[in-house]
Amino acid sequence: MMSIAKESVIIIAAADRDMAQNIKDYLADCGFSDLRVVFDGSGVYETLRPYYRRPEKVGVLVISEDLPGCCITDMCHTLAGDQDVHILPMIVLGIRDKQQLVCELGILAERVQAGGLVHFLEVPFSRAELLMAVNFQLAIKQERRLRYKNEELLINELAERKVVDAKLKYLVAHDELTGLLNRENFERHLWLILKRNKKLPKNGALLYVDIDRFSLINELEGYQVGDRLIVEVVTVIRALVNRNYCFTRIGSDEFCLYLDNQNADDAQQFAEKIRKSLDDFRFFVEDVVYNATVSIGIASLHTDKAVHHPSELISRARQACRMAKENGRNMVWAYNGRDSGVLERQHDIYWAPLIRKALIDARLFLLFQPVIDLRSERISHYEVLLRMQGKDDDETIGPAVFIPVAERMGLIHSVDLWVVENAIDYLAALPDFMAHVSLAVNLSSVAFQDASLLALIKTKLEMTWVEPSRLMFELTETAAVDNFEQTRNMILKIRALGCKFALDDFGAGFCSFNYLKRFPVDYIKIDGQFIQNLIHDETDQVLVRSIVEVAVKLGKKTIAEFVESPEVVEKLKEMGIDLAQGYIFGKPEKGLQASNAISIHQLMLKAQRNGED
């Protein structure tokens, strides 16, 4: 746009020939190519006359207030006072005070000043001021011309309606950017279709079209380029669409298309046609080329479960579109109520408000399971386990049910903070003779991305006077690998307070021992899948021995979980495992065990007697 503006005709009208020449030379140096110099009012009109039918070619008039043969106020009225596209912005080089010119212009002054059509430069002026004024006036000229051009296109499109009020009605019912139906009007059409189908059933299908990774275009190129992409995508789809189909823009980069009297197979073929056309489409931004693909979801009107409201049909198509995105994008997906993603969302919708209510109404609670030192046969610490109270007071809901929902629905940070705060409060409330008790707290995979976690731990420890060494945090191996540096830095800061860390479920993922070498943890918690069948599985034995060997070399202690039998206990002691936990030592309870000492031998005898019974 700027290159076109610099090719516009710029008229320099001044009685002072030296000043006019200096302005011309300066603007030429700045890249303006078509500069005309005149020395009186008649020269201005003679220069303009050839461009009477091409006013867009003339960019701006730089005119001296004392130009011979013209009245500056009359020229402002004639050239800059018009309201249509033929206006000519002016830069008045004034020898008087600007206010005098404003008084002479009268009512016109408000209009031209509000539109920026007349810019006043008091002589003497700097070259920078002049260049800024010229660029500003050219921008105004270009903006007004573009606006009038768009308005003209819109008027032509609506001319067939032959009623001025139709323009307003059109804008109320359509999307301003694309001209498609807006969502409200589209839902009205669907409502009529559903009512009609109750009496006269017909086939029909709704396509939900979503531009893949559209946000990247907005982030990289800006919203104007994003708007242009939307318009071009709509243009491609419009070329394929039957005029009888309802086509709407339902979101920023989301569209709905209702295919009347089309069965599921026809809709699938048509959706593939749209997808293929846009897959072949190329979007150019200067020298950069983007491939604008789409994901399309299909919801048929006639299915096992009847559709009673437009929002139901739109929701099904949107869920199908989301499944298309989750399965790789640039594909078509038909709605199926048994899809795992659909069932998961229905599950999330049900559980999210229950989790939020549990946080507010204190329906979350903690259980404690002992972790045993196999050498000293004493309780080393307790693992804190989170539970949620169900609708009935006797109902207990495990974390496997609600924690994944909390992670997907943005509630997990609140849950993490609740667990940490209540675990510290529990330690603080213990009597003095239990001051040796320490707790291991499980945190979610994203807990260490929350900056408020460190502040909460530090503040709570200071307020409760709980020794930081009585608090250990467990994070999973996969969480440790994700955002490794950020997680590591957060752990270092929390360890600096005096807290300890354990790497939970070690071996369950694909974490290399290199991560273990660099990760600042005190304990390695071996995943239970290697412990449960340890006696009979030589592969598990080899893996556990290797983990123990590495842990010893790195100065870290090992914890075995899911220990259920005396034979496993003996095997773990033989292998050199430091700590163990499992039902053989104690189930998760709301309170702590009365004695810190445990006789592993007695537990093993009890387990054997129970087995014989």
Question: Which of 67-71, 213-217, 458-462, 507-511 reaches the highest mean pLDDT?
Answer: 458-462
Establish if 161 belongs to a structural domain: no
* Residues 315 and 435 both lie in one domain: no
- The distance from CA 498 to its chain's CA centroid, rounded to whole angstroms, is 36
Out of 155, 188, 204, pick the residue that ends a domain.
Answer: 155
pLDDT band at 86 (very low <50, low <70, confident <90, very high): low
* Residues 183 and 151 both lie in one domain: no
* Residues 320 and 378 both lie in one domain: no
Look at residue 438 and tell me whether its pLDDT is greater than 70: yes
What is the residue range of 512's domain? 349-612
Look at residue 511 and tell me whether its pLDDT is greater than 80: no
Establish if 434 belongs to a structural domain: yes
Establish if 603 belongs to a structural domain: yes
* Residues 328 and 355 both lie in one domain: no
Establish if 110 belongs to a structural domain: yes
pLDDT band at 384 (very low <50, low <70, confident <90, very high): very high
Tell me what pLDDT residue 65 has. Answer: 83
Out of 89, 120, 155, pick the residue that ends a domain.
Answer: 155
Nearest Cα to Cα of residue 106 among 80, 78, 73, 137? 73
CATH number where 465 lies: 3.20.20.450
Tell me what pLDDT residue 252 has. Answer: 86
Contact assessment for residue 479 and residue 509, using Cβ atoms and an 8 Å cutoff = no
Look at residue 163 and tell me whether its pLDDT is greater than 60: no
* Residues 289 and 230 both lie in one domain: yes
Bridge pairing between strands 294-300 and 332-334:
parallel
Tell me what pLDDT residue 161 has. Answer: 56
Mean pLDDT of the chain: 83
* Residues 426 and 496 both lie in one domain: yes
Out of 337, 364, 394, pick the residue that ends a domain.
Answer: 337
* Residues 216 and 361 both lie in one domain: no
pLDDT band at 171 (very low <50, low <70, confident <90, very high): low
* Residues 198 and 137 both lie in one domain: no
Look at residue 339 and tell me whether its pLDDT is greater than 80: no
Look at residue 83 and tell me whether its pLDDT is greater than 70: no
Q: 23 or 144: whose pLDDT is higher?
A: 23
SS3 335: coil
Establish if 586 belongs to a structural domain: yes
* Residues 149 and 181 both lie in one domain: no
Q: 392 or 455: whose pLDDT is higher?
A: 455
* Residues 587 and 482 both lie in one domain: yes
Per residue, the 3-state secondary structure of 273-286, as one string, reads HHHHHHHHCEEEEC
* Residues 134 and 202 both lie in one domain: no
pLDDT band at 2 (very low <50, low <70, confident <90, very high): low
Rounded to the nearest 5 percent, the helix, strand and coil shares of the chain are 50, 20, 30
Give the span between the Cα atoms of 310 and 180, in whole angstroms.
18
Which residues, including other chains, have CB under 8 Å from residue 429's CB and lie 6 or more apart?
none
CATH number where 281 lies: 3.30.70.270
* Residues 387 and 510 both lie in one domain: yes
Range of weakest confidence among 170-179, 346-355, 588-597: 170-179
Establish if 168 belongs to a structural domain: no
Range of weakest confidence among 92-106, 263-277, 421-435: 92-106
pLDDT band at 100 (very low <50, low <70, confident <90, very high): low
Which helix H or strand E contains 369, and what residues bound it? strand 364-373
Establish if 23 belongs to a structural domain: yes
pLDDT cut 90: percent of the chain above it: 22
Burial class of residue 108 (count of CB atoms within 10 Å of its CB; 0-12, 13-18, 19+): middle
Number of domains in the chain: 3
Establish if 68 belongs to a structural domain: yes
Give the span between the Cα atoms of 98 and 192, in whole angstroms.
63
Range of weakest confidence among 160-164, 488-492, 518-522, 586-590: 160-164
